[in-house]
Amino acid sequence: MTGTMLLGWSILFGLMAAPESSTSSDGVSFRGQVTLIRDIQVPARQPGLLERLLVSEGQMVAEEELLANVDSSEAELRLEAARREYEAAAEQAKEDVKVQEARATADVAQAERDDSLAANRRSPGAVPETQLRREELTAQRAQLQVKVAEMEFSVAGLTAQAQHAKMQVIEHEIKTRQIRAPFAGLVAEIFRHEGEWVQAGDPVLRLVQMDRMRVEGFVDAQQVAPYELVGRMAEVRVELPGGRVHTVQAPVSYVGQIVDGKEFRVRVEIDNVPVIREENRTYWLLQPGLPAQVTIRLDRSR
């Protein structure tokens, strides 16, 4: 059974067993239950062989910590090929030697044409008309060759940019083959193991946040309006095993505005307390499912 299903049944059981909320001179009180704020199944983002699993159940991990690796050897080979293609394209786009050569050739062709025209002005017929037409054609071709060289140089630059973008896509693919923790939390379950094939979207492990919890319950809308609880301080008394009670003060974090069955939802987020710290494991005072009594102070004189 998944963590989400367990959480859903826990909340349902708590709400069915909880008495109605009450209002006194101290404020409004309701029975609630400790629940998780974040409980997710961390997926593989790329298909492939699960090459390494770096964590175990019960281990605490930091945000962005590497949890597992999907095999990236084929992508790394493609990246190396793309890098060489990029380097070749970048080298072609580095110097406009062909453009300079084409411009020099065009200048010479135009100069020869100008010399022939000048010779005919000094001595009509010195240069045959056939040669003049040939030199004119050569000059035009040289000018067109300049445009071709400029276009090829521009395309080389665009090709280099495209190859660089291709490299970035493959680098991103390799990065997404690293499965990292989206937040600091506890590895509650492991669904896949080293050597197994995973598809994109397959859950690899379950990660839950333990350093901060949520107490959630319902308040009678006939006793107090939702807006009266916004920003109020609450006293949360969590019932621990053995008859012990953990009391903490915290502001109301969420007040629902939808009244369902004459009640609306209220949440208070509280810090958890580490009890035992080991090398990579921490045991916490509060666990989801513990019952709690919440009292929210009211001051209706304001």
**Same-domain check for residues 220 and 244:** yes
Query: Do 158 and 83 fall into the same domain?
Result: yes
Segment 160-185, tens digit of pLDDT: 888 889 999 999 999 999 999 999 99
Least Cα distance to 286 among 22, 37, 20 occurs for: 37
For the chain, give the mean pLDDT: 85
Q: Are residues 197 and 270 in the same domain?
A: no
Q: Output the domain CATH number for residue 204.
A: 2.40.50.100
Q: Which alpha helices (H) appear in the chain, and where do they start and end?
A: 3-17, 73-92, 97-122, 129-175
Question: Same domain for 18 and 94?
Answer: no
Cα–Cα nearest to 229, from 269, 256, 258, 210: 256
Domain carrying residue 292:
1-37+212-302
Q: Which domain-ending residue is among 189, 208, 227?
A: 208
Q: Residues near 272 by Cβ (< 8 Å), separated by ≥ 6?
A: 210, 211, 212, 213, 284, 285, 286
Are residues 191 and 230 both part of a single domain?
A: no
Residues 59 and 145 in one domain: no
The DSSP bridge pattern shows strands 39-43 and 48-53 to be: unpaired
Q: Are residues 199 and 261 in the same domain?
A: no
Residues of the chain under the 50 pLDDT cut:
1-19, 302
pLDDT of amino acid 267:
96
Regarding whether 300 and 216 lie in a shared domain, the answer is yes
pLDDT tens column, 208-242: 999 999 999 999 999 899 999 999 999 999 999 99
Q: Which residue has the tokens 């919890």?
A: 213
Q: What is the pLDDT of residue 90?
A: 82
Same domain? 56 vs 82? no
What is the Cα 38 distance to its own chain's centre?
Answer: 16
The answer on 129 and 53 residing in a single domain is no
CATH number of the CATH domain containing 225 = 2.40.30.170
The pair of structure tokens assigned to 18 is: 């909880």
Q: How many domains does the chain have?
A: 3
The predicted structure's pLDDT at residue 255? 96
